[in-house]
């Protein structure tokens, strides 16, 4: 729910604010909140290779996804963004399998593929779908890849550092770069937006870039990530609904049919259990999903 507003509110914000300012500024807002939360709760510093892994998380969800989508949405409608971003659950599942060594059954991949196909077909039926591919689609594809890597690595780190701690440290780590980009953007163009556009920017900084990750990384940490990521198949349904309500983008009969198909596939994928090696005991720590951590 938190992330489903990200694309339409970004589209709303870029109508008055520079995409570079939005992509970097939202991270700076979130970093201030993250630093305060870490300091007030006296969290221990990450150790050793955890900093490198936090850099991967930051590169994906703090820098990559916000920046790429902000620039893409200067030319593409929110419904078009939902088309490509609907591929994110499948990309996250694949990344989780490669990084987390999870082993979904064939039925999982069937449900995942069906869900991705349903999500894309649903969004294609909307104005601004895949009628013609252009440079914005490349940015969206890059954003999907960046977010998938950031989600998978962040989900694993959340088992060690905690969910909100993971996104907080990633934000703090990326804050010098993002603050520098904000300063550069302001030097090139003063950020002048309407109250509504500033409200959209505030949501992106406080919720999309910070609070939303509390629940998301906690869910991925409980895992298995390959399955939990499929819940996000419902996001494009919500996103296009918000785009219609907030931006006046056309909402057709296909929304109802496509939305039902996406939700059904998402539910099927989430309920498919992982294959486990025969040697693993049912109650052993290696057979768990991260709860013991």
Over residues 227-246, the pLDDT tens digits come to 788 888 888 888 888 988 88
Task: Give the whole-angstrom CA distance, residue 240 versus residue 247.
Answer: 10
Q: Please state the rounded mean pLDDT for residues 175-185.
A: 96
Supply the pLDDT for residue 83: 74
Supply the pLDDT for residue 283: 43
Q: In the numeric block, which tokens belong to residue 182?
A: 């904000």
Q: Please state the rounded mean pLDDT for residues 151-168.
A: 93
Supply the pLDDT for residue 278: 44
Over residues 18-42, the pLDDT tens digits come to 999 999 999 999 999 999 999 999 9
Residue 129 has pLDDT above 60, yes or no: no
* Confidence band for 290, pLDDT divided at 50, 70 and 90: very low
Residue 154 has pLDDT above 80, yes or no: yes
Maximum separation of any 2 CA atoms in the chain, in Å: 62
Residue 117 has pLDDT above 90, yes or no: no
| DSSP result, 166-211 | HHHHHHHHHHHHHHHHHHHHHHHS-----HHHHHHHHHIIIIIIII
Question: What is the CB neighbour count within 10 angstroms for residue 94?
Answer: 16
């Amino acid at each position: 729910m938190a992330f489903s507003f990200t694309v339409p509110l970004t589209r709303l914000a870029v109508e008055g604010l520079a995409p570079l300012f939005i992509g970097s500024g939202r991270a700076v807002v979130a970093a201030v909140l993250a630093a305060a939360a870490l300091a007030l709760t006296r969290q221990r510093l990450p150790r050793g290779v955890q900093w490198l892994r936090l850099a991967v998380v930051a590169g994906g969800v703090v820098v990559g996804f916000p920046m790429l989508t902000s620039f893409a949405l200067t030319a593409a409608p929110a419904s078009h963004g939902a088309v490509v971003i609907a591929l994110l659950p499948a990309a996250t599942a694949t990344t989780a399998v490669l990084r987390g060594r999870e082993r979904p059954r064939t039925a999982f991949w069937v449900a995942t593929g069906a869900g991705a196909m349903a999500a894309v077909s649903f969004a294609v039926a909307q104005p601004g779908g895949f009628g013609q591919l252009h440079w914005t689609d490349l940015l969206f594809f890059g954003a999907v890849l960046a977010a998938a890597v950031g989600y998978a690595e962040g989900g694993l780190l959340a088992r060690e550092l905690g969910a909100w701690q993971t996104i907080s440290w990633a934000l703090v780590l990326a804050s010098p770069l993002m603050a520098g980009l904000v300063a550069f953007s302001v030097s090139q163009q003063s950020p002048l937006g309407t109250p509504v556009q500033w409200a959209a920017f505030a949501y992106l900084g406080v919720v999309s870039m910070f609070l939303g990750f509390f629940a998301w990384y906690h869910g991925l940490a409980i895992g298995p990530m390959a399955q939990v990521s499929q819940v996000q198949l419902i996001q494009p349904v919500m996103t296009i609904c918000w785009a219609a309500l907030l931006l006046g983008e056309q909402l057709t009969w296909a929304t109802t049919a496509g939305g039902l198909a996406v939700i059904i596939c998402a539910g099927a994928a989430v309920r498919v259990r992982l294959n486990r090696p025969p040697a693993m005991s049912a109650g052993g720590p290696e057979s768990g999903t991260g709860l013991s951590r």
